[in-house]
Amino acid sequence: MTKYLNDFQFGVEVLGGDIMHSADRVLRLRHEDGSWTMLTIDFSNAYNLVDRSALLHEVRLRCPSISLWVKFLYGQAAKLYLGNGHIMSAIGVQQGDPLGPLLFALEPSYSSYQI
């Protein structure tokens, strides 16, 4: 996936480390006069908005070897227990899922945020 995402996403295992530090170095080296600025976007809640049907489609297309596993994990709503009851989780990727950042990066709704 690094080869596929490398030109578009900077949060999924990119050579050279964190994009924020790399961008800061570029701005400091090339624009010492302060003529350039940088906008940052907080994706902390965007993970909760991932369209699972679009996600499953992209995984089948781009990562067929893990598509059955991802379908098992995200193909149906999951119960999230809250006290004596539960709520159904039907959108987004699960907090703590090691595949979460990759699945978020593959979801096409966020292509407008790609650099």
| Mean pLDDT in order along the chain per 10 residues (115 residues) | 61 54 75 71 74 92 91 92 92 86 77 42
What secondary structure letter does DSSP report for 89? Answer: E
Q: What is the C-alpha to C-alpha distance for residues 95 and 58, in angstroms, rounded to an integer?
A: 20
Q: What is the C-alpha to C-alpha distance for residues 113 and 74, in angstroms, rounded to an integer?
A: 23
Among candidates 53, 51, 25, 54, which has minimal Cα distance to 38? 25
Domain boundaries, the chain: 2-113
State residue 105 phi and psi, 5-degree precision.
-65, -30
Q: Residue 99: what pLDDT?
A: 87
Q: Residue 10: what pLDDT?
A: 52
Q: Residue 47: what pLDDT?
A: 82
Q: Residue 40: what pLDDT?
A: 65
- Return the SS3 of 86: strand
Q: Residue 12: what pLDDT?
A: 47
Q: How much is the pTM?
A: 0.61
